[in-house]
Amino acid sequence: MRVIAGHYRGTRLYTPSGVAIRPTSDRLRESIFNIIGPRIRGKRILDLFAGTGAMGIEALSRGATHAIFIDNNAQSLDLIHRNIEKVSAHERTTVIAWDAAYDLACLQDHAASDIIFMDPPYHQGLIHKALQNLVALPSCNSTIVLEHAAQDALNDLPIGLFLKDQRRYGKTLVSFLSDML
């Protein structure tokens, strides 16, 4: 797994052992950034269920100003810290050990994010819980890029969120959500 473009281009990131963490493939990450890439520069990023931190690090590489990484898995948190260290991005990152499906009170003292990457574990019913927590934030007017299994349908989005676009990549869907039509 490597950083696709930008300042950290070509940097190989640390990857998990085992199957507990499912990192976004280079090819899928490249496809997502081909869609949203021009909007990254100067933005604040939130990487929920961050896994290895690859999405947030890719955004930083392409000119995002700051990235917050949230995960509650010890192996993921270790990988995120190691990958941030590998690209020397400490001053532009915040790592929070937190369960995003429970609530997002951990973000109360942080500035609002412009783009949110969300890649919850598949088939665990975490999508709607995390989206509800996002819309409960006082300043949630972000673009949400949600990676999920095709079987995990997005029925009944929380009030205030709208599906703007959706792309299929094999068994994975990437849904682009916004709070504006």
**Which residue would you say has higher pLDDT here, 60 or 26?**
60
Confidence at residue 22, expressed as pLDDT on a 0 to 100 scale: 67
Tell me which amino acid residue 62 is.
Answer: R
Q: Is the pLDDT of residue 122 over 80?
A: yes
Confidence at residue 180, expressed as pLDDT on a 0 to 100 scale: 60
pLDDT band at 69 (very low <50, low <70, confident <90, very high): very high
Burial of 48 (0-12, 13-18, 19+ CB in 10 A): buried
Confidence at residue 18, expressed as pLDDT on a 0 to 100 scale: 64
DSSP 38: G
**Which residue would you say has higher pLDDT here, 110 or 18?**
110
**DSSP per residue, 97-112:** E--TTT--GGGTTSPP
CA distances from 180 to 34, 75, 103 (A): 22, 36, 23
**Which residue would you say has higher pLDDT here, 23 or 34?**
34
Q: Can you tell me the mean pLDDT for 75-88?
A: 96
Confidence at residue 123, expressed as pLDDT on a 0 to 100 scale: 82
Q: Are 170 and 149 in contact (CB under 8 A)?
A: no
Domain ranges of the chain: 26-178
- Is this structure's pTM higher than 0.85? yes
Instruction: Classify domain 26-178 at the CATH class level.
Output: alpha beta
pLDDT tens digits for 125-162? Answer: 889 999 999 888 876 668 999 999 988 878 789 888 99
Mean of pLDDT over the chain: 90
Q: Is the pLDDT of residue 96 over 80?
A: yes
Geometric angle at alpha carbon 141, from 140 and 142, rounded to 5°: 95
Burial of 22 (0-12, 13-18, 19+ CB in 10 A): middle
